Structure 1
Amino acid sequence: MSVASTTNAQIDAPRIVAVVSWKAPIIFGIFTVLFALLPLLVPREGATTFRLASGDAFFTVPDIVLPSTATAWVSVVLLAASTVFAVFLANSRRRTPLWLVVVYVAALLIGFLAWAAAGATLPMVGLLGGALALATPLIFGALGGVIGERAGVVNIAIEAQLLAGAFSAAIAASAAGTPWAGLVAAMGAGMLVSLVLGIFTITYFVDQVIVGVVLNVLVIGLTTFFFRQVLAPNTETLNSPETFTAFPIPILSEIPVIGPILFRQSFIVYLMYFVVALVWFGLYRTRWGLRLRAVGEHPQAADTVGIKVLATRYRAILLAGAVAGLGGAFYTLVAVPRFNQEMTAGAGFIALAAVIFGQWDPIKATLAALLFGFATNLQGVLSVIGSPVPSQFMLMLPYVVTIFAVAGLVGKSRAPAADGKPYIKS
């Protein structure tokens, strides 16, 4: 081969340009500096006890006692080392791996808990078990968002689906005298909201974000009106639902540490485990999932090979609405045995953030929702043990976590290529 042909081949060869985000190193650095100010300006005396077993545990697990200030400084060192490593990776044009994010978050949480609970005992089983329960509606909502957006439909209406599910579950369970009726009604209410979303966005090509926002406002208004006019005057008959109580799973619930956390929950939490696995398997291991993802990435190509794009999108958002409706049922059939106005309190938007933070993957979105649930439950636990952290800060903690997560803690997230774009068959 001549020199000229070799040079031409080198010129014609495609060049791969790696795009590396500096968001993770910057966020690491900000949190490291802010956390270092805590032991520096407000050192805490004493030690923090991490209790890893509940009082009725079959196996005895010893408590872990850590010196508060020393543990906080060790965490600062680990955070700084993780930040330096993240900077090195970014400078080398390499992405920040997920394991580094997990290590950073774990070091930050342990250090913060040791500092905040100085001289007190942290019931880790209650903290993590409560976080799992609080994250359950977020996980259902996030799974609904993943299904819809994988098919190319932006689901801003998760809040409406959760609230409609909670409202319908309360009425159906009260009228029928069984929580199972409430569960079915919640799924139906979520599907109804999704059907309206589909009619306007899939059939009539209305902007998906606008329709989602309108549906959120509409459902809030309708549920508030019917609560005041119908439920409040008839509380005993229409707003006193039978609930799902927590029940332990034999043997599994006796596993040290994780048993009480995972296997002493209510039926809806156990159902959530199954739905997460089912959605993951369906998306990545079945023909249905392949077609759904094809419609969300390149609907014209999917249409060319015979996939009915509009029908696939309708089926996807109806399924997404049913899943999100299950999350709404958690509020009135597990958490609070009655419906209250706007009781979801913006959980649908946090679930939407979990979808983005989880990069439109059901497992990652579930982990993101668990993080938000932990941040929500942490505020209650720290207030009970008398932590010096201001209550106002703890109330905003879940939303701060949401903002930083969506800002790019795990780097750049790419939505499905056709997400939010109506399909007009040519």
Structure 2
Amino acid sequence: MILLAFLLQTIRIAVPYLLAAAGGVMSERVGIIALGLEGLMLSGAFGAALGSYYGNSPWAGLLGALVAGGIITSLLAVSTIRFRANQVVVGVAINLIVAASTRYFLRLVFDSSSNSPRVPGFGGEGVGNAMFASFLNPVVWIGLAVLPALAWLLYRTPFGLRARAVGEKPEAAATLGVAVNPMRL
């Protein structure tokens, strides 16, 4: 029983890393160096804390995480595609900027530079047995569904074939009419 509880908690805690790894796999397959994943996770966590705190709902927190991650990802895209900055430098810069800015905004918003106050989450508070609360967390199920969905997307769809072609051999993909980032050629 204790082993099962340990396994369930391990899966629950591993889901954010699993989602970041899935994003890293996707970006690496299309030829983008994903050094900013730590910054993306931190910005998503900060966005989730803000959304959940002010929206008083874990779903608002999930939306806040998506918005914050989208903003930082857009910063990466604009920097590397529009301004042709080095992907490694931008990834490291994003990690440093997000680490500093989240501490600053935590202090500004919550008067603490290390953590937010307790926010609503998908904890399964009404469940009698806390061990099985992980089964009620929709983020766990989303995280577990992402891996087979990503594998299907990359290896069973025309989009996945094009994405892998652009990441592995952009010159060949460009000759077939697939849009390729000019920096990749």
- Taking structure 2 as the reference length, the TM-score comes to 0.87
> Equivalents in 1 of 2:57, 2:108: separation in Å?
24
* Partner residue in 2 for 1:149: 28
* Partner residue in 2 for 1:362: none
> Equivalents in 2 of 1:156, 1:166: separation in Å?
17
Task: State the AA in 2 paired with 1:304.
Answer: T
Is contact 1:160-1:219 (8 Å) kept? Answer: yes
Asked whether 1:127 is paired with 2:6, we answer yes
Asked whether 1:245 is paired with 2:116, we answer no
* Partner residue in 2 for 1:422: 183
| Deviation of 1:199 (Å) | 1.6
5+ residue gaps, structure 1: 1-53, 55-122, 248-259, 311-420
Asked whether 1:274 is paired with 2:145, we answer yes
Ranges of 4+ aligned residues in structure 1 off by more than 4 Å: 260-263
> Equivalents in 2 of 1:189, 1:165: separation in Å?
5
Q: For the aligned residues, what is the CA RMSD?
A: 2.2
* Partner residue in 1 for 2:38: 159
The correspondence of residues 380-399 of structure 1 with structure 2, limited to 5 A, is: none
Task: State the AA in 2 paired with 1:245.
Answer: G
Task: State the AA in 2 paired with 1:422.
Answer: M
The correspondence of residues 73-84 of structure 1 with structure 2, limited to 5 A, is: none
* Partner residue in 2 for 1:229: 108
Deviation by residue 1:365-401 (Cα, 9 ceiling, x = unmatched):
xxxxxxxxxxxxxxxxxxxxxxxxxxxxxxxxxxxxx
The count of aligned residue pairs is 177
- Taking structure 1 as the reference length, the TM-score comes to 0.39
Asked whether 1:291 is paired with 2:52, we answer no
Task: State the AA in 2 paired with 1:165.
Answer: G
Candidates 164, 167, 175, aligned match of 2:54: 175
Q: Percent identity?
A: 34
Task: State the AA in 1 paired with 2:120.
Answer: E
Is contact 1:201-1:207 (8 Å) kept? Answer: yes
| Deviation of 1:266 (Å) | 1.5
Cα distance change of structure 1 residues 309 and 261 upon mapping to structure 2, 3 Å threshold: farther
Task: State the AA in 1 paired with 2:176.
Answer: V
The correspondence of residues 210-221 of structure 1 with structure 2, limited to 5 A, is: 210-221=89-100
Task: State the AA in 2 paired with 1:423.
Answer: R
